[in-house]
Amino acid sequence: MKFTSFTSRVVFIWATLLTACFLVASELSSIQLEKEALLNTSWWSWQMNSSDHCQWYGITCDSTRHIIEILYSPQGELSQFNFSCFPNLKSLDFSSVYLTGSIPSQIGVLSKLKFLKLSYSQVTGVIPLEIGSLSSLMELDFSSNKLNGSIPSSVGRLTKLTTLSLSGNNFIGAIPSSIGDLIKLITLDLSGNAFTGAIPSSIGNLTKLTTLYLSSNTFTGAIPSSIGNLTKLTTLDLSSNTLTGAIPSSIGNLTKLTILNLSSNTLTGQIPSTIANLTNLEYLFLDSNQLSGPLPREIGNLKNLMELLLRGNNLIGPIPLTFGYLADLTHLALSSNKLNDSIPDELTQLTQLQFVDLSHNKLNGHIPIGINSCVGLSSLNLSYNHLSGRIPLKIGGYLLAQLDLSNNNLSGTIPDFPIPWMYLDLSYNNLEGPIPLELLNPKLIGNKGLCGAAYGFTPCEKKPNLIIVILPITTILTIQIFRFFSLKRKDKKALLSTSTRASKIRDVFSIWNFDGRIAFEDLIEATEGFDIKYCIGTGGYGSVYKAQLPQGKVVALKKLHSLEIEESASLNSFQNEVRVLSELRHRNIIKLYGYCLHKKCMFLIYEYMERGSLFCVLRNDDEALELDWTKRVNIVKAVAHALSYLHHDCTSSIVHRDISSNNILLNSELQAFVGDFGVARILHLDSSNRTMLAGTYGYIAPELAYTMVVTEKCDVYSFGVVALEVLMGRHPEEILSLSSSSSSTQNVMLIDVLDSRLSPPVNRIVKQEIMLVSTIAFACLRSKPKSRPTMKRVSQEFLKQKTSFAKSFGEISISELRNQEMYLFDEHDT
């Protein structure tokens, strides 16, 4: 048997280690030995058809055919692997949920190892002392295992380490001060263990650190002021420990920090004003401590701040006006402190705000009226303060889902909140007057002056009778509904029983508006008897007229073509239909103020939409430019919320059937409203959903062509088309016609199909939102209806606080969006 001198030398070293590998070494070459050791694990048995182990999955050999890299997810015990047989190994990654056993001391022989990763496994036991012999090690990752014991101080010998991650284990004891010798460390993650003792001040030696996680342990004592030496840190997380003392003012040296999390400790003293130097901070979490003193006005310097959480401290004094400079702020939580004075108007300049919690303080004065400009607001909690005055007529935009103003001294009446499904708590105030009917499950107790039998309060005094029947109708109908019911023949009995009422119904003229009345004559006068010069559009259903009423209000009149409504049964059905649809209340569904149903005049009265249809706006270059990316994303969200409401929040599901850019209307602020319930009807459980093919060409779900069964998922498809159309500025027909496997789409990037009339988005939040919209749009366009998400799900995705995508904006291709596995929901979702 021949040995190279190198092999002999290695064998000699091994002999001193008395390893099992040595026992067979005399008969086999070291290369053969490595292969034998792999075979003994039985982890690669499925690869036995190949005799060359260097070709096995996860194995990399060097030119001398020695194994230098193993990247494999084994199923079994670590003891099956004989570490001492792989002296040339440079990189070992055994991360696998099926890996058990403990780390053997023979791991110390791997003196060439640079990269060692055993994460997300079931490894138990302690870290052997011999770890200190891995003198080449640069990265050590034992995160998410079941390791215990303390960190051997021999770790301090691993002076080449750049990454040390021991997070998510059961380690105990103190951090050895020898940690300060690891001066090349860039990332240190000890979070999620049971470490105790103080954070050694030698940590200040690790001046190359960019990331330091010590969160979720039981570290005690003060934060060492040497932490101020770590000037390269971008993330510092010491949260969820039992740290005491003040935040060292040296923290102000860490000017590269983007994340500072010291929450859930018992820190005392004031927030140091040096915090003002941390101008790169995006997340500042100091909540759940015992910090006292005022809120430093210098926080207003932190221009990049997105989330500021200071709740659960003993902070006093006013909210500084300088907070109005935090233009990127999305989350502001100052609750459970002792803040007083009024809420500064300056806060309402923060148009990115989504979550605001100022509850449990001593704030007084009024709720700033300007709060209506925080259009992205989804949750506002001002409960348990001393706020007085009226509730502003408009709070936030149309994304508001939670509003808690309970336990204050607010007075006056409850404004018309246009989102019935929102969580609303107004209890324990001094509110009075009638309760708007739009509210679904409001919490209102403890307001003596409120009235409204529907909500269990004393009935309100009757209003003076109106000339016309008052019907608070908030949706729209078109002639097609009418036609649908006129086609539907009721049996003769029903016909007879309703014939007497029908004669009355024939002359019904139901109108409602803010003043309680619109005179029929006014409408005729305003349009000079439906003169063509007031006509703003025509369609198969009829013509639309713009009418300015004497009170100044502008409405749209949809005059229906001649109808065959002579048949009383269909008239009656129409009445019922109106009643059901009048229960719809949603701020993104166009309002129907009333209708006139008379042989000579048949028209519907809608809210007037100044900017007309989305279709027209997108096709006019000047108007399309006005629709910036944020407005476009908001249009898609608005349509999603409206459809989710129609599908899921009504007593019986309502399918729109004709979602297209023609049927989405825009008001003067370019906010979107779903209109034209062309052929919508209530989906009765027992009725067949078969129908004549309806909808607009280019928006119709593919299955409708052959099944003729209309479901909510048809609307979902049409919504997907509209969403892409909004992003692309034109109908996405090319993309819809390309098959997903076609190689021609492989390299089409999202960024290349966006509406080129607008400059590409630069704001990070906007980019994320566009990615979210396009991801959802493609999920909605799946050919199988079941694979499409429900509108409820889509609406929820849009309401979620955060989304992050693995890829950057410029790198996402259409085929990736189309093939993503996300949002694959089936029936249990609905």
Quote the strand ranges of 561-716, DSSP E: 592-597, 602-607, 612-613, 654-655, 664-666, 672-674, 681-682
Q: How far is the CB of 131 from ligand NAG (least distance, A)?
A: 35
Q: How far is the CB of 363 from ligand NAG (least distance, A)?
A: 13
Q: Compute CA distances 210 → 184, 192, 232, 540, whole Å.
A: 11, 19, 5, 65
Q: What is the distance in angstroms between the CA of the first residue and the CA of the last residue of the chain?
A: 71
- Got the DSSP string for 10-55? HHHHHHHHT-HHHHHHTTS-HHHHHHHHHHHHTTTGGGTT-S-GGG
Mention every residue, 6+ apart, whose C-beta is less than 8 A from residue 91.
Answer: 60, 68, 69, 70, 71, 113, 114, 115
Residues paired with residue 709 on neighbouring β-strands, in sequence order: 690
Nearest to 87 by CA among 43, 24, 138, 22: 22
Q: How far is the CB of 326 from ligand NAG (least distance, A)?
A: 21
Closer CB to ligand NAG, residue 136 or residue 402? 402
Whether 658 is a known active-site residue: answer yes
Q: How far is the CB of 819 from ligand NAG (least distance, A)?
A: 23
Closer CB to ligand NAG, residue 181 or residue 404? 404
> Where along the sequence are the contacts to ligand NAG (CB under 6 A)?
46-47, 49-50, 335-336, 359-360, 381, 383-384, 402, 404, 423
Backbone angles phi, psi at 643, to 5 degrees: -70, -40
Residue 343, Cα to own-chain centre: how many angstroms?
Answer: 28
Q: 471-482 b/e with 16+ CB inside 10 Å = b?
A: bbbbbbbbbbbb
Q: How far is the CB of 516 from ligand NAG (least distance, A)?
A: 34
Q: How far is the CB of 57 from ligand NAG (least distance, A)?
A: 8
Q: How far is the CB of 264 from ligand NAG (least distance, A)?
A: 16
Closer CB to ligand NAG, residue 333 or residue 776? 333
Q: How many helices (H) and strands (E) does the chain have?
A: 17, 38
Closer CB to ligand NAG, residue 339 or residue 723? 339
Distance CA 658, CA 681 (A): 12
Mention every residue, 6+ apart, whose C-beta is less than 8 A from residue 223.
Answer: 199, 238, 243, 245, 247, 248, 251, 262, 267
Residue located via tokens 């899921």? 648
Distance CA 291, CA 278 (A): 19
Dihedral angle sign, alpha carbons of residues 541, 544, 550, 552 = positive
Closer CB to ligand NAG, residue 48 or residue 625? 48
Q: Compute CA distances 668 → 587, 612, 622, 681, whole Å.
A: 15, 9, 15, 29
Q: Look up residue 736 and give its two tokens.
A: 């819809």
3-state secondary structure (DSSP) of residue 448: coil
User: Pick the catalytic residue: 658, 676, 715, 755?
Assistant: 658
Nearest to 252 by CA among 277, 221, 220, 222: 277
Closer CB to ligand NAG, residue 336 or residue 745? 336
Nearest to 654 by CA among 481, 779, 797: 481
Q: Which run of H or of E encompasses 814? A: helix 814-819
Q: Which run of H or of E encompasses 568? A: helix 568-582
Backbone angles phi, psi at 810, to 5 degrees: -70, -15
Q: How far is the CB of 480 from ligand NAG (least distance, A)?
A: 41
Closer CB to ligand NAG, residue 169 or residue 264? 264
Distance CA 819, CA 775 (A): 10
Q: How far is the CB of 380 from ligand NAG (least distance, A)?
A: 9
Q: How far is the CB of 379 from ligand NAG (least distance, A)?
A: 7
Closer CB to ligand NAG, residue 311 or residue 585? 311
Closer CB to ligand NAG, residue 177 or residue 364? 364
Backbone angles phi, psi at 601, to 5 degrees: -135, 120
What are the residue numbers of the active site? 658
